[in-house]
Amino acid sequence: MMVYYEIRRGLISNKAENKLKAFDKLCKKQNVIDITTTDLDKAAFIYAKRKSDGKMIDDADLLIAAQCVTNGYKLITNNVKHFDEIDGLLYENWVTR
């Protein structure tokens, strides 16, 4: 759900109406999962660890990482510096491979 929010807010704020329609069409075909309290608890632990290490990231990224960890998903991102050193998070950068 956080990925949905992050993409949707960007498209709306950029007034990308055609891309927004295409994204909505794609979402109707996909399984969009809700955020659970388990995801939120994991995000809180990730936040505390990152804060103590001095490596804070945006809340949206914390929630995306937490949801991936709790559901066993691999995160595909070009922004690996935000997601490194998160215990249990599998991620891959398709841009640089």
Residues 90, 64 contacting (CB under 8 angstroms): no
pLDDT in tens, 13-63: 999 999 999 999 998 888 888 899 999 999 999 999 999 999 999 999 999
At 97, the pLDDT band (50, 70, 90 cuts) reads low
pTM of the model: 0.79
Class of domain 34-97: alpha beta
Residue 40: CB atoms within 10 A of its CB come to 14
Q: Nearest-5° angle of CA 37, CA 43, CA 23?
A: 80
Q: Where are the domains of the chain?
A: 1-32, 34-97
Average pLDDT rounded to a whole number, residues 3-14: 90
